[in-house]
Structure 1
Amino acid sequence: MHIQDLQAQSVVTSSSEAQGRLGPVAVVGSAAIAAAGGGGPRSAPLRVDAQRNLEHVLRAAREVFGELGYGAPMEDVARRARVGVGTVYRRFPSKDVLVRRIAEEETARLTDQARSALGQEDEPWSALSRFLRTSVASGAGRLLPPHVLRVGVDQDEPAAVPAGGEQRVPHQRQGVTQPGHQVVSPRPAAEEEPDDDAGASELLEVVGRLVDRARESGELRGDVTVADVLLVIATAAPALPDPAHQAAASARLLDILLEGLRSRPV
């Protein structure tokens, strides 16, 4: 008998023995797995799905927190992302982790916008105005981390927290508060968010240069601080159903705020 015949007989015998032990379905299934390139799980599509879910969650978190503040529940984020809340928690084990991720990204975006305004505008007022218009249009100012908004805050004043929320945003010296906030007692110092965050410090430094230049040129009121500028970009017009009306209202509000920042001849 030839070698080829011996090999064929061996294959047939092995298949018959396997069929006897496992049944025909198991043998066919094994052959199909082998033909597909192995029996291991195919993880690549899962990685793609996970990345897509992460992008949906981050986009939804920016929208929800931008509209409702950082007090919005994780369920709202999951609903906007069209995923289960368990999917959100698998990527972000707590709400604080998700809030920190969004706040860090938006702080970095605002820093880039401020630096771009410094580099592209020679006139101090034009640079400050450009930064304010760009940041308001992007909506990043409404997602600033709470401890950044504490710049220039009187420590003796109570803090404000979105109704039913966890993140605390203080009253500004100017007495402006966001709608839907209730006054609560300030937390102990040990619970404060860290003020030495590198990203926040960089933002304050770059915006401070914009403010200093505009003030030194005489175009910005002498009493305007970095905190005032951050307050402007964190202020939004009420949500309107018509996008064109919303854009017009936002632009009008910013024009009014900008006029309030400018110095007036004595």
Structure 2
Amino acid sequence: MVYALTDKSCRDAHPGALCPPTPRGTPMPALNPAAAVDERPSTAAEDPDVADSPETPDRPPSDDLLLRVPQQHRSRRTLESFMAAARHLLGQGGEAAVTVSDVARRAKVSVGAFYTRFEGRDDLIRYLGERSFEEAIEEWEAEIDREDTGLDPALSHLAAAFLAEPLRTVVRLDGYQDPAPSRLRRFEDRVARDLRLFDPFPSPPREDDLLRALFLVGGLRELARRAERDEGETETAVPADPDRLARIAASMLTGAITSEDPTDADQTPPTDPEGPGDGKAQAAAEVDPFDVWG
């Protein structure tokens, strides 16, 4: 609602116009539509989670899985509360425990504010998975771009990443609201290709080196997953020690790479130069596997 010009100000602003003799301050529609001002409270003032401006909405169309990070501080803080709450619930009870009401309650935000940003539970989980994947990739790239990096520090970083966020969320959401190929597979494929750049991998790489690196990455992931679940001091308990896990993995990898490749070894048994008729050579070739002295 705006206030009309008074009779005198109307004549001053619009010479020659027929201005009604309205009392001063009486509300009426504005004579100049361009001068009308919308006095409704802004949506951002009502709820900080709504877009800051119509031109740059915080929430993209529903088919865009990567939610744009809000520019407003309160909006970013609310979004981080949603992420922290969802990750906590995911770790407590899996994806089934991530519900809209529980996320809003733990984030201390209204359910209505939740729906201004996400369409629902599945939308939240998709965003959580995509964002965690992007953050894990960024952290890995920062690690391998360091000048003093090598196989041992890279493996230590990888083991620590599997034990913490955001990569732990990628592992937990593997296969759920997950495009093909899965986020976890894309991450591990990337890491395996990068590991081949370090010693002791030969240059140029051999045919099975990528499989060796993938085996190593998958092994670290499963050890980290087991370390998260193991409790107490038992003989088979996996320690949640990234450096120790990395040393074990590096020693296994070094041994596998530096050992003779079985595909290159000559599998043909030695032949007797004197022919099969020589009884001594044939007897020497036949060894009883149960004779420890043989």
TM bucket (normalised to shorter chain) is 0.5 to 0.7
Please report how far the alpha carbon of residue 5 of structure 1 lies from its aligned counterpart in structure 2 after TM superposition.
Answer: 10
Q: How does 1:134-153 map to 2 (within 5 A)?
A: 135-136=161-162, 138-144=164-170, 148=174
Alpha-carbon distance change, 131 to 95 in structure 1, aligned in 2, over 3 angstroms: same
Tell me whether 1:113 sits opposite 2:149 in the alignment: no
Please report how far the alpha carbon of residue 101 of structure 1 lies from its aligned counterpart in structure 2 after TM superposition.
Answer: 0.6
Sequence identity percentage = 21
Between structures 1 and 2, the one with greater helix share? 1
Equivalent position of 1:39 in the other structure: 39
Measured in 1, the distance between the counterparts of 2:90 and 2:173 equals: 16
Measured in 1, the distance between the counterparts of 2:9 and 2:153 equals: 88
Measured in 1, the distance between the counterparts of 2:168 and 2:243 equals: 18
**Equivalent residue for 2:89, pick from 58, 61, 64:** 64
Alpha-carbon distance change, 194 to 48 in structure 1, aligned in 2, over 3 angstroms: closer
What secondary structure sits across from 1:71 in the alignment? helix
What secondary structure sits across from 2:96 in the alignment? coil
- Does the 8 Å CA contact 2:133/2:187 hold for their aligned counterparts? yes
Unmatched 5+ residue regions in structure 2? Answer: 1-6, 13-17, 31-35, 51-74, 203-211, 232-237, 260-294
Deviations 1:114-171 (A, max 9, x none): 22222214422222213333x25752122015575x7xxxxxxxxxxxxxxxx5xxxx
What secondary structure sits across from 1:93 in the alignment? coil
**Equivalent residue for 2:117, pick from 62, 70, 91:** 91
Tell me whether 1:124 sits opposite 2:151 in the alignment: yes
Tell me whether 1:257 sits opposite 2:245 in the alignment: yes
One-letter amino acid of the structure 2 residue matched with residue 124 of structure 1: L
Tell me which of the two structures has the higher relative contact order, counting C-alpha pairs closer than 8 angstroms and 6 or more residues apart.
1
Equivalent position of 2:190 in the other structure: 206
**Equivalent residue for 2:180, pick from 181, 184, 195:** 195
Deviations 1:33-67 (A, max 9, x none): xxx96434423424634335434323322333244
Alpha-carbon distance change, 91 to 119 in structure 1, aligned in 2, over 3 angstroms: same
Please report how far the alpha carbon of residue 103 of structure 1 lies from its aligned counterpart in structure 2 after TM superposition.
Answer: 0.9
Q: How does 1:2-81 map to 2 (within 5 A)?
A: 13-15=21-23, 27=27, 38-46=38-46, 48-50=48-50, 51=75, 53-74=78-99, 75-81=101-107
- Does the 8 Å CA contact 1:211/1:226 hold for their aligned counterparts? no
Tell me whether 1:227 sits opposite 2:227 in the alignment: no
Measured in 2, the distance between the counterparts of 1:87 and 1:44 equals: 11
What secondary structure sits across from 2:97 in the alignment? coil
What secondary structure sits across from 1:228 in the alignment? helix
Measured in 2, the distance between the counterparts of 1:144 and 1:14 equals: 68
- Does the 8 Å CA contact 1:114/1:206 hold for their aligned counterparts? no
Alpha-carbon distance change, 200 to 71 in structure 1, aligned in 2, over 3 angstroms: same
- Does the 8 Å CA contact 2:129/2:169 hold for their aligned counterparts? yes
Measured in 2, the distance between the counterparts of 1:60 and 1:111 equals: 22
Q: How does 1:165-180 map to 2 (within 5 A)?
A: 167=176
Measured in 1, the distance between the counterparts of 2:248 and 2:191 equals: 18
TM-score by length of 2: 0.49
Measured in 2, the distance between the counterparts of 1:194 and 1:6 equals: 64
Please report how far the alpha carbon of residue 203 of structure 1 lies from its aligned counterpart in structure 2 after TM superposition.
Answer: 1.8
- Does the 8 Å CA contact 1:110/1:140 hold for their aligned counterparts? yes
What secondary structure sits across from 2:22 in the alignment? helix
TM-score by length of 1: 0.54
Please report how far the alpha carbon of residue 14 of structure 1 lies from its aligned counterpart in structure 2 after TM superposition.
Answer: 1.3
